[in-house]
């Protein structure tokens, strides 16, 4: 990262309290953006966006990075002209698309604020930030770059290895503000709603002008063909995701007798407990949420066969990221 992005020559000391404030500001800004996008009701709205001319100050140094860098680095005059000419006509469907992504990011922000990550911050934040407010200042001594884990001349960087092990060990989080888990669930449900709504508007379009996500009769700026079968299959996936989020269908449990019980994902958010990924992987953390009921079709090989036939094997998750 240091070699690619410009670095702040005078970084401030970061505390855990300040980190939570940063995440809260991020969530607030995303909520404001989502509310603005959700207020767009005109089905004929259109806003040309010159994406190639947008600059973003990713590091807060006052040195914005242009779209040429963000899109992969375009250095020749011809390539720079192509980037400058990259225009999207942002329409009603795109408003739903972006609102959905705002909700997705808000959900993650709420989860981060729901948990108590202070111990992890105190013990391992020096791995990621130059200056941190920690009760263990000795952690900031020595080399902290990950590419120094092993050096043929000096051997293993034992302090760094121990820090990495501590980071892995501390992946267990008590809840600091458990009510935020319900807020995260609400954002995920809104994301699913926007993801369905956008296709109503995309499919109604009859123009063909700089489309971000085209319908089957359009050509998008990315020149990726979208077929009606892809749309139909994606809507089935969204409906199934909605059933899981509502608790109407269960995620199959990976221990015990197959198909007998499943995990009610909704209750993970409405009845939150300490988050421990390793105990989830083992299965014991899932025990409070096990129920008898209908298992989601996401566990049905027929659905995945349809997905792979429609989107192409190994392409589904890439296109799902694009589709929202």
Report the alpha-carbon distance of residue 50 to residue 71 in Å, rounded: 13
Reported pTM: 0.90
Q: What is the pLDDT of residue 182?
A: 99
Residue-wise pLDDT tens digits, 44-85: 999 999 887 788 777 677 777 766 666 555 566 676 677 777
Residue 286: φ, ψ to 5°: -85, -15
**Per-residue CA distances from 58 to 14, 104, 120, 127, 163 (Å):** 17, 20, 25, 19, 27
What is the pLDDT confidence band of residue 241, given thresholds at 50, 70 and 90? Answer: very high
- Work out the end-to-end distance of the chain between its first and last CA atoms, rounded to an integer number of angstroms: 27
Domain ranges of the chain: 120-169
179-213 confidence digits (pLDDT tens): 999 999 999 999 999 999 999 999 999 999 999 99
**Residue pair 140/228 in contact by the 8 Å Cβ criterion:** no
121-134 average pLDDT score: 96
Are the CB atoms for 244 and 296 separated by under 8 Å? yes
Residue 283 has a pLDDT of 97
Mean predicted confidence (pLDDT) in 271-281: 98
Average pLDDT, the chain: 92
Contacts (Cβ under 8 Å, ≥6 apart) of 305: none
CB 214 within 8 A of CB 231: no
With H, G, I as helix, E, B as strand and everything else as coil, classify residue 292: coil
What average pLDDT does range 17-43 have in this prediction? 98
Give residue 68's pLDDT.
63
């Amino acid at each position: 990262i240091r070699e690619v992005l410009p670095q702040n020559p005078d970084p401030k000391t970061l505390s855990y309290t300040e980190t939570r404030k940063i995440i809260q500001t991020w969530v607030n800004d995303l909520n404001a953006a989502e509310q603005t996008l959700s207020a767009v009701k005109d089905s004929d709205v259109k806003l040309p966006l010159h994406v190639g001319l947008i600059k973003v100050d990713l590091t807060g140094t006052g040195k914005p990075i242009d779209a040429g860098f963000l899109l992969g680095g375009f250095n020749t005059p011809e390539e720079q002209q192509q980037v400058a000419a990259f225009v999207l006509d942002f329409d009603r469907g795109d408003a739903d698309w972006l609102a959905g992504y705002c909700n997705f990011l808000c959900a993650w922000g709420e989860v981060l604020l729901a948990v108590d990550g202070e111990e992890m911050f105190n013990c391992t934040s020096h791995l990621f930030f130059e200056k941190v407010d920690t009760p263990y200042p000795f952690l900031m001594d020595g080399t902290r770059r990950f590419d120094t884990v092993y050096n043929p001349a000096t051997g293993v960087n034992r302090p760094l290895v121990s820090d990495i092990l501590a980071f892995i060990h501390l992946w267990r989080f008590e809840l600091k503000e458990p009510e935020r888990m319900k807020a995260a669930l609400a954002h995920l449900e809104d994301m699913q709603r926007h993801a369905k709504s956008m296709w109503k508007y995309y499919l109604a379009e009859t123009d063909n002008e700089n489309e971000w996500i085209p319908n089957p009769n359009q050509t998008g700026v990315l020149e990726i063909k979208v077929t009606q079968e892809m749309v139909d299959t994606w809507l089935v996936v969204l409906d199934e995701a909605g059933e899981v989020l509502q608790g109407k269908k269960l995620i199959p449990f990976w221990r015990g007798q197959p198909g007998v019980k499943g995990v009610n994902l909704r209750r993970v958010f409405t009845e939150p407990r300490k988050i421990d990924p390793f105990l989830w992987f083992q299965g014991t953390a899932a025990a409070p949420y096990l129920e008898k009921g209908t298992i989601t079709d996401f566990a049905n090989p027929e659905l995945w066969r349809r997905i792979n036939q429609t989107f192409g094997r190994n392409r589904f998750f890439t296109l799902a990221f694009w589709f929202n």
